[in-house]
């Protein structure tokens, strides 16, 4: 007999993980930061197509969620670096799972993606 799934709660831990994992730009930011600490300009360049405003909003959200750490250096010009927290690094499992499914969409992407 199958185990019955619990009722869905919009603010339970699983729902919160789903909101992060299902956020297109946020999960790509996490993926980029899995490579190491980066500055805003590096993330902006790497995440082709994201506006500066959206990147800033997503970084703020990630910081509020406790996924990234924002370090501001007392220099002129100001320097800010972003890195994943321990909690953020746990999303490596989600990113790897998504990457393992990517081949299912490879043929479709070749038809619509512009290199």
pLDDT of residue 6: 66
DSSP H stretches of helix in the chain: 13-21, 24-33, 40-46, 52-64, 86-89, 92-101, 106-112
The model's pLDDT over 51-86, given as tens digits with 9 standing for 90+, comes to: 999 999 999 999 999 999 999 999 888 899 999 999
pLDDT digit string, tens, across residues 4-59: 766 667 778 788 888 888 889 999 999 999 999 999 999 999 999 999 999 999 99
* pLDDT reading at 114 higher than 80: no
- Which band of pLDDT confidence, cut at 50, 70 and 90, is reported for residue 115? very low
Residues ≥6 apart with Cβ < 8 Å to 67: 20, 30, 84, 85, 87, 88, 91
pLDDT the model gives residue 52: 97
- What's the average model confidence in pLDDT over 97-108? 85
- Bigger pLDDT: 106 or 31? 31
User: What CATH number has the domain spanning 13-112?
Assistant: 1.10.10.10
Q: Tell me the pTM.
A: 0.82
Question: N- to C-terminal Cα distance for the chain?
Answer: 49
Contact (CB, 8 A) for 97 and 33: no
């Amino acid at each position: 007999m199958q185990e019955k799934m619990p009722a869905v709660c919009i603010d339970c831990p699983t729902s919160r993980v789903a909101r992060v994992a299902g956020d297109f730009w946020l999960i790509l930011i996490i993926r980029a930061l899995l490579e190491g600490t980066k500055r805003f300009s590096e993330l902006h360049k790497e995440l082709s197509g994201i506006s500066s405003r959206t990147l800033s909003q997503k970084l703020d959200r990630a910081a509020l969620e406790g996924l990234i750490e924002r370090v501001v250096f007392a220099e002129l010009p100001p320097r800010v670096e972003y890195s994943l927290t321990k909690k953020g690094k746990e999303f490596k499992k989600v990113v790897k799972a998504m990457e393992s499914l990517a081949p299912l969409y490879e043929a479709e992407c070749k038809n619509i993606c512009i290199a």
